[in-house]
Structures are given as structure tokens and as C-alpha cells.
A and B are shown apart, each in its own frame.
Chain A
Amino acid sequence: AQSVTQPDIHITVSEGASLELRCNYSYGATPYLFWYVQSPGQGLQLLLKYFSGDTLVQGIKGFEAEFKRSQSSFNLRKPSVHWSDAAEYFCAVGASNQGGKLIFGQGTELSVKP
């Protein structure tokens, strides 16, 4: 079955520390992979996406993610977290022939300590 797993429901990091959010997927076809962020009271905003090519993708707000096919993972990273990064983060997977029909993980809530 197709699925996305985000093992960490809630993570707390100190401001300025590095961040890695985990995402594992199970998908039969070649996946399109996405990370979205939802700040309180806001809609989901696309951080970055991977379709093909370079497995390290850069996104907005200083985020990057690395696609590792052998591990079925697409972890999100940021070298130095800012207080404004506190939000909920969602990993999602889709297929090239299904457009915006995505399968989402359960989300990881990020808290940032001053």
C-alpha cells in the first residue's frame, strides 16, 4: 500500500540548532516528493519538491531535502533554525500521472526554544 511515514509527531529544537525531519515513503511507482509547512492559522505552503535529477533539492526559507531511493526516505534539513520556523511540517508523495493527488504523512510539529 502507498503510504508516507513521519516518525516524529513533535520535535523541539533550540534556536540556531540544526534540524532534520524524517520522512519515509512506500510507493510503487517513481515518486514525486514534497515537503509542505503549515503555520498556525495558515494554509499549507510548499517548501520544496523532488521530481527527478539531483537528489539534494533546495527549497524556500533555507530548507533542503535529500532523496534516498535505497532508504525510501526524503528527509528535510535546515542548518540553523529560526523561531519563525515553528510550525507543522508535512511530507507528501504523488505520482507523475496523478497531478495534485497526494498522499500525506501525519505531520511533524516543530517547536523552537529561545
Chain B
Amino acid sequence: EAGVTQFPSHSVIEKGQTVTLRCDPISGHDNLYWYRRVMGKEIKFLLHFVKESKQDESGMPNNRFLAERTGGTYSTLKVQPAELEDSGVYFCASSQENYNSPLHFGNGTRLTVT
């Protein structure tokens, strides 16, 4: 089976611009998660979708971040406008069930805001 796919793998944008990250989970996985790792820090939870619904968005840093999951399939994470502190690696993960199912991570999108 295909794994979790993230696009792009790298993105370099200027402060104030908009960037959209995409995640395609493993087919059939209802649960989709976004995580972020700022350089030198730990990986932090951003939000959790169950199908197309946001189950938990307690980790979203502020309202410059907008996540969507169209039709319960792929998800996008938009940052608008981007700030320097948004730089980091954004990971997407999916799982089949919410409990006791392992998370399958994508390779991440490295975002650099200059």
C-alpha cells in the first residue's frame, strides 16, 4: 500500500506570503494528524481530523493556520500570512482507528520562511 504522501517536500517563502501544504493519507485511514517540528524543538501536535471533521485542533498556534480535509481524503494546511517563526518541518500522519492503531507518518514538508 502507498504510504502517507506530503507535498511539497521543501518550500521557501518570504514573510507575509501564503503557503499551502498537502497531505495524502493512506487510503482508508479515517484519522489524519498534523504535527510540526520547529528547529531544535520537539515535535508538537497541531490537529486531528476524523474523516472531514476536526476532532481536536488544540495545537494550532494561531488563526494564521487553516487546516481542511476535503471529503475526508487529503488534507491541506495553509499558513497565511507566514511569519519567520513558522519555519520548521510539518509532518502528517494517518491511522486506521483512533485507539491502539499505529501512526503512519509522511516524510514531512520543510518550510523555510525568510
B is bound to A:
yes
User: Residues of A with Cβ closer than 8 Å to B?
Assistant: 4, 36, 41-46, 49, 51, 90, 92, 96-107
Task: Give the residues in chain A near B17, CB-CB below 8 Å.
Answer: none
The answer to whether A43 and B41 have CB atoms under 8 Å apart is: no
The answer to whether B107 and A100 have CB atoms under 8 Å apart is: no
In the complex, which of the residues A49, A100, A104 contacts B42, with contact meaning CB atoms closer than 8 Å?
Answer: A104
Q: Can you name 15 A-B residue pairings with CB atoms under 8 Å?
A: A4-B42, A43-B91, A43-B104, A43-B105, A44-B93, A92-B43, A99-B48, A99-B95, A99-B101, A100-B98, A100-B103, A102-B103, A104-B42, A106-B40, A107-B42
In the complex, which of the residues A49, A90, A96, A104 contacts B99, with contact meaning CB atoms closer than 8 Å?
Answer: A96
Which B76-92 residues have C-beta < 8 A from chain A? Answer: 91
The answer to whether A43 and B107 have CB atoms under 8 Å apart is: yes
Known A43-B108, A90-B43, A105-B42: A99·B4 in contact at CB below 8 Å: no
Task: Give the residues in chain B near A102, CB-CB below 8 Å.
Answer: 45, 103
On chain B, the number of residues with a Cβ less than 8 Å from chain A's Cβ atoms is: 28
Known A43-B3, A51-B100: A100·B106 in contact at CB below 8 Å: no
The answer to whether A100 and B31 have CB atoms under 8 Å apart is: yes
Give the distance in Å from the alpha carbon of A98 to the alpha carbon of B103 in the complex.
Answer: 13
The answer to whether A42 and B45 have CB atoms under 8 Å apart is: no
Give the distance in Å from the alpha carbon of A104 to the alpha carbon of B102 in the complex.
Answer: 15
Chain B residue nearest to A106 (CB atoms) is B42
Which B22-49 residues have C-beta < 8 A from chain A? Answer: 31, 33, 35, 40-45, 48
